A and B are shown apart, each in its own frame.
Chain A
């Protein structure tokens, strides 16, 4: 959910007045815009702010929110928080890895799914929980999870079928 629509990446760069503390918001809006932080964006930010690229890179790699590679159409955030962990989220994560053929942090070859873990989504009473983009799915078992993932895959297949038929 983008909070300030008017505060997009180019607007923020244009508005930059040398005030300190702007680097992280700039990176966040770059990621909002591109879905990740492309090499080019780092050069732009460095050019405008005068902060060395190496320092910017250091900040990006410190925070887990920032990605240097593009993400899939569906970003799966599997909760690995305490409540989910005691409800065997490990098995849930392994099931996703197995069903999609990727590891945590990876993206499927067709660019559809990216799998990440997060520490607590805040729906601990529905553990184990995953989010697929903005939708939360709780009380999962390996079987129900496979069904869920397959329904996403089917939806994609049929919409692609529609496109090629048209």
Chain B
């Protein structure tokens, strides 16, 4: 029988997946027993949501942009008469695995380890996870492996932390294993603070058991008895699915007392974050779990010695844990066969911004930025020019288009002045102003600085003031030098990674786009045509209906025109406040 599977991750739901699901559900009650209806999470093609898969045996056909109306058509044609609606097929995965359909390139260039089950199984069903080989790794470590052997396999696989810094995971585990203590903790960092990154959310929504299984294996390796998942409160669906997964795993004996009769006990609790970026930093995260203000602590002592509640603690990122069961089941060699010499395995990237295919892609480490943006990402929206990618969010930097041959791995990306970060990749086009993007990130870190270190608290504010001045056309020639000096000082004198990396977006844009800074400062021009104070406001005569609303809203009477006739802005009077853009009901006003 055909199975209809609706993608219901956050991205699917916001594109209307619930209405689509309901339509199929009505169709099913009108035609009982004709097909099966199920749901799954995100398969990564967020740009084609809502996605609906029609599965029959090994044959999988995914339709994109399925509205309730298209659901009717799919039912009448594909389900009832076996006739595929080729025009709407995003992906066709046949027997033998070859992919066809409009999105086959997006799919075929990927290697899915972390996302192995995302968009394929029902994340609320532990049975489906087990059918895909889930929880076999726990059985293996409990029945056949000594803790030291587990750490050995993880070391050999070459797995490095996916939370940003890329610290070797096996080595980290061996530190925590080395301290003697009755009580030890395993913590999973699901705070995902980088705005523009959503890999961890997708894993938690799409395959929560893989993270739980990874944590149990870690607990066994280091000898821990309790664990926490610290998840941001902005991810209600992820928390909901994790809660279900933990309940089901306890019931089946994979969590709790005496796991699978081995005598080993370990349990996991969810802690919700409360909206503070710095709580992604591990020592601040511990403070937050302990119920305090999330302020970072001085290291050493490192978490492996004194972490949560002062006990030896191992903290890893969501994606790091999700890799672990796969490595245990398939072996270290199978994992290290992917990637580059120093960065093994795969990495999930969240593609967003001005790229055609916004979504999630998991590729072997070492794939070039060009392949990610153009082959998987489908190039730049509206056929515009590719300018740069921003990686690593507020701690990262911009990599310009001429370096797009750079392979993504833990060595090559930092060499450009950006960082790998957690995998957010925001694609920028020629309309993005690099000074403005630097200002944007600094505003973010400035706001999120916890205030403990003077340089981070006040230095970032000074930098932000300078950048704001430049984008308003009030910059002075010595400003660039000031930014460079302040940036170096903040990097050197901050306690935690937030301050140590906060100047990166500024330093990297000055490095590659100094001419844009100079154009703002010396010529009072924004080459990208983005900074309001430095551009002209114009009215598109094609779109203007002469409704007069912009003229009424203009505080300086710079707009003239008769009712029902095209209006004009007088640039010599205009103060560039933007009121005309926000008040126009026809999107007729633009900046140039």
The residues of A with any CB-CB pair to B shorter than 8 Å are: 1, 3-4, 20-25, 27-28, 58-59, 62-66, 80-83, 85-87, 91, 94-95, 98, 118-127, 129, 135-138, 141-143, 146-147
B507 interface residue per 8 A CB criterion: no
Contacts A3-B236, A127-B352 given; does A86 touch B195 at CB 8 Å: no
What is the bound-complex CA distance between A65 and B350, given in angstroms?
25
Stretch with Cβ within 8 A of A (4 or more), from B176-184, B285-293, B479-487: B285-293
Which residues of chain B have C-beta atoms less than 8 A from A27's C-beta?
274
Determine if A62 and B437 form an interchain contact, defined as CB atoms under 8 angstroms apart.
no
Determine if A123 and B46 form an interchain contact, defined as CB atoms under 8 angstroms apart.
yes
Query: Nearest Cβ distance between residue B350 and chain A, in whole angstroms?
Result: 7
Proximity string of chain B (495-523) to chain A, C-beta cutoff 8 Å, 1 when within and 0 when not: 00000000000000000000000000000
* Number of cross-chain contacts by CB at 8 Å: 155
Query: Nearest Cβ distance between residue A9 and chain B, in whole angstroms?
Result: 15
Which residues of chain B have C-beta atoms less than 8 A from A59's C-beta?
291-293
Which residues of chain B have C-beta atoms less than 8 A from A127's C-beta?
352-353, 358
B583 interface residue per 8 A CB criterion: yes
B341 interface residue per 8 A CB criterion: no
Which residues of chain A have C-beta atoms less than 8 A from B15's C-beta?
123, 126, 138
Which residues of chain A have C-beta atoms less than 8 A from B239's C-beta?
1, 3
Determine if B290 and A136 form an interchain contact, defined as CB atoms under 8 angstroms apart.
no
Which residues of chain B have C-beta atoms less than 8 A from A147's C-beta?
585
Determine if A120 and B276 form an interchain contact, defined as CB atoms under 8 angstroms apart.
no
What is the bound-complex CA distance between A87 and B353, given in angstroms?
7
What is the bound-complex CA distance between A102 and B289, given in angstroms?
35
B13 interface residue per 8 A CB criterion: yes
Query: Nearest Cβ distance between residue B28 and chain A, in whole angstroms?
Result: 25
Determine if A125 and B195 form an interchain contact, defined as CB atoms under 8 angstroms apart.
no
Which residues of chain B have C-beta atoms less than 8 A from A4's C-beta?
243
Determine if B440 and A63 form an interchain contact, defined as CB atoms under 8 angstroms apart.
no
Which residues of chain A have C-beta atoms less than 8 A from B11's C-beta?
122-123, 125-126
Determine if B234 and A118 form an interchain contact, defined as CB atoms under 8 angstroms apart.
yes
Q: Choose one: B10, B14, B358, B440; the contact of A85 (CB below 8 Å).
A: B440
> Which of B46, B196, B237, B428 gathers the greatest number of chain A CB atoms within 10 Å?
B196
Which residues of chain B have C-beta atoms less than 8 A from A66's C-beta?
274-275
What is the bound-complex CA distance between A21 and B276, given in angstroms?
17
Which residues of chain A have C-beta atoms less than 8 A from B432's C-beta?
86
Within 8 A of A (CB), among B301-322: 309
What is the bound-complex CA distance between A118 and B432, given in angstroms?
21
On chain B, which size bracket covers the interface?
35 or more
Chain B's closest residue to A99 (CB) is B582
What is the bound-complex CA distance between A87 and B194, given in angstroms?
17
What is the bound-complex CA distance between A65 and B276, given in angstroms?
8
Which residues of chain A have C-beta atoms less than 8 A from B359's C-beta?
125
Contacts A94-B578, A118-B234 given; does A1 touch B13 at CB 8 Å: no
Within 8 A of A (CB), among B430-450: 432, 437, 440-441, 444, 450
What is the bound-complex CA distance between A20 and B194, given in angstroms?
29
Determine if A138 and B196 form an interchain contact, defined as CB atoms under 8 angstroms apart.
no
What is the bound-complex CA distance between A125 and B233, given in angstroms?
21
Determine if A98 and B353 form an interchain contact, defined as CB atoms under 8 angstroms apart.
no
Q: Choose one: B290, B352, B587; the contact of A82 (CB below 8 Å).
A: B352
Determine if B233 and A28 form an interchain contact, defined as CB atoms under 8 angstroms apart.
yes
Which residues of chain A have C-beta atoms less than 8 A from B450's C-beta?
62
What is the bound-complex CA distance between A23 and B243, given in angstroms?
20
B354 interface residue per 8 A CB criterion: yes
Determine if B195 and A82 form an interchain contact, defined as CB atoms under 8 angstroms apart.
yes
What is the bound-complex CA distance between A22 and B353, given in angstroms?
39
What is the bound-complex CA distance between A138 and B47, given in angstroms?
12
Query: Nearest Cβ distance between residue A153 and chain B, in whole angstroms?
Result: 15
B201 interface residue per 8 A CB criterion: yes
What is the bound-complex CA distance between A67 and B335, given in angstroms?
46
Determine if B198 and A98 form an interchain contact, defined as CB atoms under 8 angstroms apart.
no
Determine if B195 and A81 form an interchain contact, defined as CB atoms under 8 angstroms apart.
yes
Query: Nearest Cβ distance between residue A27 and chain B, in whole angstroms?
Result: 8
Which residues of chain A have C-beta atoms less than 8 A from B475's C-beta?
none
B277 interface residue per 8 A CB criterion: yes
What is the bound-complex CA distance between A127 and B276, given in angstroms?
23
Query: Nearest Cβ distance between residue A86 and chain B, in whole angstroms?
Result: 5
Determine if A142 and B275 form an interchain contact, defined as CB atoms under 8 angstroms apart.
no
Q: Choose one: B47, B271, B426, B578; the contact of A91 (CB below 8 Å).
A: B578
Apart from A1-B239, A122-B10, A141-B587: 18 A-B pairs, beta carbons within 8 A? A21-B289, A59-B291, A59-B292, A65-B233, A82-B440, A83-B353, A83-B358, A85-B437, A86-B437, A95-B582, A120-B194, A120-B197, A124-B46, A127-B352, A127-B358, A137-B14, A138-B14, A146-B585
What is the bound-complex CA distance between A4 and B270, given in angstroms?
11
What is the bound-complex CA distance between A4 and B290, given in angstroms?
20
Determine if A123 and B587 form an interchain contact, defined as CB atoms under 8 angstroms apart.
no
Contacts A86-B428, A126-B14 given; does A142 touch B582 at CB 8 Å: yes
What is the bound-complex CA distance between A124 and B196, given in angstroms?
7
Chain B's closest residue to A4 (CB) is B243
Determine if B291 and A24 form an interchain contact, defined as CB atoms under 8 angstroms apart.
yes
Determine if B288 and A24 form an interchain contact, defined as CB atoms under 8 angstroms apart.
yes
What is the bound-complex CA distance between A121 and B14, given in angstroms?
10
What is the bound-complex CA distance between A108 and B277, given in angstroms?
28
Which residues of chain B have C-beta atoms less than 8 A from A118's C-beta?
234
Chain B's closest residue to A19 (CB) is B291
Which residues of chain B have C-beta atoms less than 8 A from A87's C-beta?
353
Determine if A142 and B274 form an interchain contact, defined as CB atoms under 8 angstroms apart.
no
Which residues of chain A have C-beta atoms less than 8 A from B290's C-beta?
20-21
Determine if B233 and A122 form an interchain contact, defined as CB atoms under 8 angstroms apart.
no
What is the bound-complex CA distance between A96 and B509, given in angstroms?
31
Which residues of chain A have C-beta atoms less than 8 A from B352's C-beta?
82-83, 124-125, 127
Query: Nearest Cβ distance between residue B126 and chain A, in whole angstroms?
Result: 18
Between A and B, 13 residue pairs with Cβ closer than 8 Å are A4-B243, A20-B291, A59-B293, A63-B294, A64-B274, A82-B352, A82-B441, A86-B353, A122-B198, A123-B14, A124-B426, A125-B358, A127-B353
Determine if A83 and B426 form an interchain contact, defined as CB atoms under 8 angstroms apart.
yes
What is the bound-complex CA distance between A122 and B352, given in angstroms?
10
Query: Nearest Cβ distance between residue A124 and chain B, in whole angstroms?
Result: 4
Contacts A83-B426, A120-B195 given; does A91 touch B236 at CB 8 Å: no
Which residues of chain A have C-beta atoms less than 8 A from B585's C-beta?
143, 146-147
Chain B's closest residue to A79 (CB) is B195
Query: Nearest Cβ distance between residue B530 and chain A, in whole angstroms?
Result: 8
Q: Choose one: B195, B235, B275; the contact of A63 (CB below 8 Å).
A: B275
What are the nearest 4 A-B pairs in CB distance?
Answer: A125-B358, A136-B14, A82-B196, A81-B195
Chain A's closest residue to B193 (CB) is A119
What is the bound-complex CA distance between A123 and B42, given in angstroms?
11
